[in-house]
Structure 1
Amino acid sequence: MMSPRHVLLRTRPRSIGRQAFFSTSLGRRSYEDTISNLKIGKDTRVIFQGFTGRQATANARESIEWGTNIVGGVTPGKNGEHLGLPVLPTVREAMEKLKPDATGIYVAAHQATAAIEEAIEAEVPLIVAVAEHIPIHDILRLRRQAFIPDAYSFINSQAAVASTTRAGLGQSLCIAVGGDVIPGTNFVDALNIFEHDNDTEGIVLIGEIGGEAEMDAADWIADYRRRSPNPKPIAAIIGGIHAAPGRVMGHAGAFTLPGEPDALTKIKRLEEAGATIVNHPEKFGDAMKILLGRSGRASSGFATTGASQRRSMHTMRRTRPALRAPTSHLANITQKRNLHIREEFALDLLRENGIDAAKTGGEGRKRMLAVAVDRANRSPCIIASPMTDPENLEVEAKKFPFDYRKGLEGSHIGAIAEHLQLKNGALNALPKLLDTLVDMYIKKEAFLLETVFVEQLGGLKVIGANFGFDDAAFRSSKRQADIHALRRLEDEDPQEIEAERDGIVYIKLAGDGNIGTLVNGAGLAMNTVDALADAGGKAANFLDTGGKATSETVKKSFQLILQDSRVKVIFVNIFGGLTLGDMIANGILMAFKELDMRLPVVVRIRGTNEKEGQKIIAESGLPLFAFDDFEEAAAKVLELANKG
């Protein structure tokens, strides 16, 4: 399971192998040799970078209460004490004096990359970067083999831990791979740890749209089940089946690039590999309990009878709709937390660099050429397809990774031209287009530069462009102001802009959805929309209050949902991790009183202070429906949605 909170705080006691560290020095061990450093526990020696800051201080206090072996921290230019522990000015000095096994980096996004590099140079065995929205190109500039598990959103992981705990199971180890575009640790790394961990009897995998890590995990699972006489059972969830096409669904990396598989494709591959799929993290407990009983690995003392298996099977995923064709990546899309400029502006940029580009005047066979992130290789890549038909794009699109510092080489260009099936003048014109796109990608900190072109007599012509730039580079570091000045708010939904100002991710879903959703955590929000659809309902929106929802953000979320005339009922699905259940309940009551609420509201609060929150709802005297179980809550939501 994936969550930085649990990685640092709640694993079983074990000792990290200090000899298996990563070093930038020649002759030292490889990236693969560092994977064992994920096995942390009670004895793991932890430092915090940015130790004396507000965020680090709060997390350190809580971590110490949970029993984490924090031995000190680093704040540049400081020597002394904080929370009764030593503070040192550099990570190298902390490494020498405190001998940490792991570091938690608690600094702002624009400072995070330098802090990560400092930890790499000091040879800290495990680096966990917590900052949200570190600029993509900052990570690309890091040494490619650096070991950087990054994770900032972990509500689904906490919900999975709660579910397995309620089912009478424990957790051996939780590994966070994060929701960023370029994660430092992937599913296969984690699966390799779990396979050989004697404390692990079953495995839970939490994935979502974006990238191909889940496909790699499925290949690993299929191979593992072939070579193991008694494989550990694996349950999985993939969020984003009903995600809005072309949108970033809360997590920075929760969107699909050209040629990447959608959620249904990932689910199909995992099922074929032998994983059991659920549609909501609450269902992991019962599903894993059944699987462990069947596998004979049920060593925790519970008994699973046939009757209880039948009762529990309803928690697993219902039949999914048929796989749908990938959506066109040149559709009219905008993505929150990233900037997509108007197509006319993108074509202007190409023309300014000497590329023949215009929406009109291009006839002939269309081909796709893009520069994007290769998440698996943690590098930029060219994506090329000899056709642009959405139904064939995932099959025909091919990636050509290249080194961020060296750029494209001649062999790359030849291979790309061959895949695109170019000839004559277009073959000669390709290097100019590639050089322009790569140069713009790096200098303007894009995350996607996608073009459609046709062959012309003596060359080629770009007739379509979809350019996306990293919003984090501008927001955290004020870089690329000229590009971000091209944003046009009139092209965007006013409610989504309003939500953005309050740190809420709100996406209005197309169609006749009549259920308003209010959820904390992007992954949980995606899974809520998917699970409602499985039950026969239709969500009107995706809304992520963020992992630290407050009473005020809950009230603001209600205001946003109430502006949608399609909504007949509001479903509040909150898991209390950083968010406290009683605080959320008070926020709901405040919204009812101040917004003159007329719509029915179904509330499901689980996690931290859940009993207190449920009591506040139950005793409010307001038309609120409080539930503990997700399926019971969903059934009530559908009943109310279908009334009028």
Structure 2
Amino acid sequence: MAASRSSNSCHAMLFRQSHAKHFLPKRRPFSISRTVRSPYDDTVHNLRIGRHTRVIYQGFTGRVATGNAKDSLAYGTNIVGGVTPGKEGEHLGLPLLPNLRKAKEQLKPDATAVFVAAPQCGQAIEDAIEAEIPLIVAVAEHIPLHDVMRVMSILKTQSKSRLVGANAPGIIAPIGFCRIGFQPLPTFSPGHIGIVAKSGTLSYEAVASVTRAGLGQSLCIGMGGDIIAGTNIVDGLKVFEHDPETEGMVIIGEVGGRAEEDAAEWIKDYLQRTSKPKPIAALVAGIHATAGRIMGHAGAWAARGEHTAAEKYSILQDAGATMVDHPENFGTTMKSLLSQSGRDVSKITGNPTDQKRGYHTSMRRGPAARSRRPQNQHQHTRSLHLRADQAPKVLEPYLSNLEGVTLTSNAAPDSAFYIGLTVDRTERQPCIRTSPTTDISRFRETAKRFPFDQREAPPDSLIQSAIAHLNTPESATKHLTTLINSMAKMYKKTEAVTISSSISISPQSQQIQLHTPSMVLQFDDSAYRSNKRQESIHQLRQKDLEQPEEVEAENHGIVYVHLSEDPSANIGTLVNGAGLAMNTLDALHIHGGKAINFLDTGGKATSETVKKSFELILRDERVKVIFVNIFGGLTDGGMIAEGILLAFREVEMKGVPVVVRIRGTNEEAGQRIIAESGLDLEAFDGFAEAATRVVEIAREGKK
């Protein structure tokens, strides 16, 4: 597999060279926590969907579910009915039942598509677990984090049900014409490449590239971009390994969490134990994500001590994955890797409907169908971070009366240690995290996680293990135990994402001191958005201290992040989808350009959001050119082009030229509208060509 250890793509080589200073040295060891095997691991085979899969809908009669079901039925998905509480009869000519118990008995489903709004979605998933539905696909955004952790605590105790999501496009088997989710169907083609991705838009780009290469897809799993995912990258790789229809694997990761590192560990093991391994290609978005910022997806941020996206890139490459810089390169890269691995590419690129079936049984291709977007389509999850000077007010109800514990506004000494309550994304649970040092250069190696069931308080034995890892005096154990118990209560009560602090022990009084300047107080915004919980916490947000454009963008369902005040940055970006927006920043850097902003219009941009996006970008006086990068998966290319023309009619463009790259759904119409507009617009379909032109304008002006 030597060929798979280095990219044959010149783009990947440029990517590696242009970001060399960000990467880890070759063969540098890295550590990840080892997952304790649970019964839930045995459900991974439930992901092997196909024509045989009997699918039901929860929330069947809702507008979005109805439209989605119509499209999936036309595609060929074996939908056998659905559930809407309190209703019984027929819907779309299929059985409609009032509860999952009856649906399980009468319809015998293999999978359920949970099209239920976020406030009720957690309970809907629990109902599906109780009914022992083998595969549960949850697409809704803004399911509160603690609801998801509770669901995962339940799932880890059983071996019947598997969850995909939440906040994910779902899962689709193109060979079996089985779609459970809202993927853009015209992009997909039956074939032999398995794809597992955090980002929806990046996965659609990858799918389109693989389709253009004639390889098609066997199974595509949308992991989703939330902090916790019911199915992760390693789960997808396990399925692809044993799937007879899958000849190659594609991984799409991004900044935040350890899923990519866990995947790298799996890849190394796989390559060692397999005589003829399937080739693996990968991409990691967010190389140039702003540290400490949430880049669109709820989980797109790196916690203290976590590897950056650039480091993840290096880790995956060192493990044996071939890296690409942009998803449109997956098709040619995978074709080359398949040939190098000794596989007959001519057979793999042949018509898969003429080939023998494994677990996929459908032999017909359903008609192209339009995609249906789930609820909350223009909302973006953001965590609430409180400032250090707000800490005493929030902490007081939980820590003010603790014996031997005090708050101090003094900076932490060099001898301080770290205690936090946060999320273990690999274990899909809350955890205590401790480190005997706060030295950031050593923190990655010294910090340790101690996960526990979200439904319960952390057991005393776990707390004692966390304290023992600190190497503190035995005299401090009692006070530290009380402190961790109180922090755990606060963590659950306030639905926090992270509560942490540098802590020291006073040598004179043996008091435990929490140093507020070092505190991280991060709370789940979805709990407030979706369920109106934690209102008192979220009222502490001070929007007047935030970037005005970011606040205004949020009011219009747009995620805008002001990147820096770098005077050499002069490219404005407008992209649909958080993962694609991150990758756009990364790829522009390869071509020598610097963006002033991250802007995600949402998975389904509209003419109005495009117009507002232009207004926001143009407020930055540094902008010399705007790059519109749209992949028309859920978004119609013609509609986006019309939105751009609307912006030119109604927004003062200040003479700033616009380069538009439209690919995917209705791309020809979008490109034609731009080309025939007579306006200061240039249209491309290839990313490299568009990016090259954008950088040329940014450097030398319009020619």
TM-score normalised per structure 2: 0.81
How far did residue 147 of structure 1 move?
2.2
Match of 1:33 in 2: 42
Match of 2:219 in 1: 173
Match of 1:381 in 2: 431
3-state SS of 1:148 partner: strand
The partner residue of 2:383 within 321, 338, 345 is 338
* Aligned-partner Cα distance in 1 for 2:257–2:533: 26
List aligned pairs for 1:551-562, cutoff 5 A.
Answer: 551-562=607-618
Match of 1:310 in 2: none
Match of 1:607 in 2: 664
How far did residue 83 of structure 1 move?
1.7
The partner residue of 2:78 within 69, 76, 82 is 69
Change in 2 beyond 3 A, CA 1:155/1:381:
same
Does 2:319 correspond to 1:273? yes
Is the contact between residue 167 and residue 285 of structure 1 (CA under 8 Å) also seen in structure 2?
A: yes
List aligned pairs for 1:361-372, cutoff 5 A.
Answer: 363=413, 365-372=415-422
List aligned pairs for 1:140-219, cutoff 5 A.
Answer: 140-142=149-151, 143-145=154-156, 147-150=162-165, 151-152=168-169, 154-219=200-265
Match of 1:7 in 2: none
List aligned pairs for 1:351-366, cutoff 5 A.
Answer: 351-352=396-397, 353-354=399-400, 355-360=405-410, 363=413, 365-366=415-416
* Aligned-partner Cα distance in 2 for 1:42–1:536: 47
Is the contact between residue 347 and residue 358 of structure 1 (CA under 8 Å) also seen in structure 2?
A: no
Letter in 2 for 1:607: G
* Aligned-partner Cα distance in 1 for 2:421–2:676: 56
How far did residue 336 of structure 1 move?
6.4
List aligned pairs for 1:111-126, cutoff 5 A.
Answer: 111-126=120-135
* Aligned-partner Cα distance in 2 for 1:584–1:426: 61
* Aligned-partner Cα distance in 1 for 2:112–2:98: 14
Match of 1:348 in 2: 393
* Aligned-partner Cα distance in 1 for 2:267–2:459: 35
* Aligned-partner Cα distance in 1 for 2:526–2:340: 47
3-state SS of 2:407 partner: coil
* Aligned-partner Cα distance in 1 for 2:453–2:305: 20
Is the contact between residue 347 and residue 465 of structure 1 (CA under 8 Å) also seen in structure 2?
A: no
How far did residue 429 of structure 1 move?
2.1
The partner residue of 2:520 within 466, 472, 476 is 466
The partner residue of 2:53 within 44, 58, 63 is 44
The partner residue of 1:535 within 591, 598, 619 is 591
Is the contact between residue 579 and residue 608 of structure 1 (CA under 8 Å) also seen in structure 2?
A: yes
Match of 1:21 in 2: none
3-state SS of 1:357 partner: strand
Match of 2:14 in 1: none
How far did residue 168 of structure 1 move?
1.8
Identity across the alignment (%): 57
Match of 1:296 in 2: 342
Could you report, residue by residue, the CA deviation over 1:583-603 in whole angstroms, capped at 9, with x for unpaired residues? 000000100111032211110
Could you report, residue by residue, the CA deviation over 1:276-305 in whole angstroms, capped at 9, with x for unpaired residues? 1111111111111111111122334489xx
3-state SS of 1:258 partner: coil
How far did residue 367 of structure 1 move?
1.6
Change in 2 beyond 3 A, CA 1:33/1:402:
closer
Letter in 2 for 1:482: S
Is the contact between residue 259 and residue 394 of structure 1 (CA under 8 Å) also seen in structure 2?
A: yes
* Aligned-partner Cα distance in 2 for 1:263–1:409: 34
Could you report, residue by residue, the CA deviation over 1:379-417 in whole angstroms, capped at 9, with x for unpaired residues? 110111222222222222111112223322222222222
Letter in 1 for 2:442: N
How far did residue 44 of structure 1 move?
1.6
* Aligned-partner Cα distance in 2 for 1:302–1:49: 37
The partner residue of 2:553 within 496, 499, 502 is 499
Letter in 2 for 1:640: I
The partner residue of 1:482 within 536, 539, 554 is 536
Match of 1:6 in 2: none
3-state SS of 1:172 partner: strand
The partner residue of 2:289 within 227, 238, 243 is 243
Letter in 1 for 2:660: V
Match of 2:649 in 1: 593
3-state SS of 2:610 partner: helix
The partner residue of 1:433 within 483, 500, 509 is 483
Letter in 1 for 2:394: L
Is the contact between residue 428 and residue 459 of structure 1 (CA under 8 Å) also seen in structure 2?
A: no
How far did residue 485 of structure 1 move?
1.1
* Aligned-partner Cα distance in 2 for 1:140–1:171: 31
Letter in 2 for 1:101: D
Is the contact between residue 381 and residue 526 of structure 2 (CA under 8 Å) also seen in structure 1?
A: no
Letter in 2 for 1:162: A
Letter in 2 for 1:642: R
Could you report, residue by residue, the CA deviation over 1:81-106 in whole angstroms, capped at 9, with x for unpaired residues? 22222211111211111121111111
The partner residue of 1:515 within 571, 578, 583 is 571
Letter in 2 for 1:526: M
3-state SS of 2:406 partner: coil
How far did residue 342 of structure 1 move?
1.8
Change in 2 beyond 3 A, CA 1:362/1:202:
closer
Could you report, residue by residue, the CA deviation over 1:299-325 in whole angstroms, capped at 9, with x for unpaired residues? 34489xxxxxxxxxxxxxxxxxxxxxx
Is the contact between residue 412 and residue 502 of structure 2 (CA under 8 Å) also seen in structure 1?
A: no
Higher relative contact order structure (alpha carbons within 8 Å, sequence separation ≥ 6)? 2
Does 2:103 correspond to 1:103? no
TM-score normalised per structure 1: 0.88
For these two proteins, the number of residue pairs brought into alignment is 585
Is the contact between residue 258 and residue 383 of structure 1 (CA under 8 Å) also seen in structure 2?
A: no
Does 2:642 correspond to 1:575? no
Could you report, residue by residue, the CA deviation over 1:405-445 in whole angstroms, capped at 9, with x for unpaired residues? 33222222222222222115543321122112111100000
User: Structure 2: which 5+ runs fail to align?
Assistant: 1-37, 170-198, 350-379
* Aligned-partner Cα distance in 2 for 1:608–1:394: 43
How far did residue 360 of structure 1 move?
2.2
User: Structure 1: which 5+ runs fail to align?
Assistant: 1-28, 304-334
Match of 1:283 in 2: 329
* Aligned-partner Cα distance in 2 for 1:163–1:37: 27
Indicate the larger mover: 293-302 or 96-105: 293-302
* Aligned-partner Cα distance in 2 for 1:348–1:382: 23
Could you report, residue by residue, the CA deviation over 1:168-226 in whole angstroms, capped at 9, with x for unpaired residues? 21111111211111111111111111111111111000111111111111011111111
Change in 2 beyond 3 A, CA 1:302/1:73:
closer
How far did residue 30 of structure 1 move?
3.2
